[in-house]
Amino acid sequence: MFHKEGHKIIFLTFAFVVIAVLLIDRFIDISWLQIVLEAGLLVFLILILQFFRNPKRQTQLNNNHVLAPVDGKVVVIEEVFENEYFNDRRIQVSVFMSPLNVHVTRYPIGGNVVLSKYHPGKYLVAWHPKASEENERTTVVLNNETYGKVLYRQIAGAVARRIVNYAQQNDEIKQGEDSGFIKFGSRVDLFLPLDTNIKVKLNQKVRGGESIIAEI
């Protein structure tokens, strides 16, 4: 199953690969070179297909839990001052996505969308300390009666050049559902209350919509 954000790119890539293979067969007579070039095209197609995959996830709905919004590796767990919305201290948990990860963003909690805002910006590498404040990004704040408010931020990286955000202010949303997509690698930051019980460790790999990041 492929994400809808990838349908056009997958179609164009497939068409490009088919045309390229036909041209290679027509104009290149060296058999080993044909094999190398066609194998390279096949690998390229497979990489595009795996990047836009959208596997089904078994989300266990629980208003006491914050779930991982994306697949990837936990690269930050620290107390910070969040200065865009809360203007107070929060626990930041950041998940970095490599180009090999599933890039679907999912709602970490259920409830309603309090804020959804796009920020243009730079394209620093995703692990840069200032990426969260200077890179192109979206900020979404969710609220439910049990957990309270959770802010998550999709951040573009040096390769990612398009962030897709489906969250709209006042939307009623369901935990684990698709909330967006980041094309070609980046990270997502979560900002949680200080009394949150963090359930992950640095460098731990998590699965969007399934892994528990924190609980109240």
Contact in structure between 202 and 98 (CB atoms under 8 Å): no
Q: Token pair of 198, please?
A: 């963090």
Q: How far is CA 118 from CA 35, 129, 194, in A?
A: 45, 20, 26
Distance of CA 175 to the CA centre of its chain: 15
Residue 74, number of CB atoms within 10 A of its CB: 20
Annotated catalytic residue 31: no
Q: Token pair of 119, please?
A: 């920020």
Report how far residue 24's alpha carbon sits from residue 38's, in angstroms, rounded to the nearest whole number. Answer: 8
Q: How far is CA 18 from CA 12, 15, 36, in A?
A: 10, 5, 15
Q: Annotated catalytic residue: which of 94, 132, 179, 186?
A: 186
**3-class SS string, 51-101:** HCECCCCCCCCCCCEEECCCCEEEEEEEEEEECCCCCEEEEEEEEEECCCC
What residues are labeled active site? 186
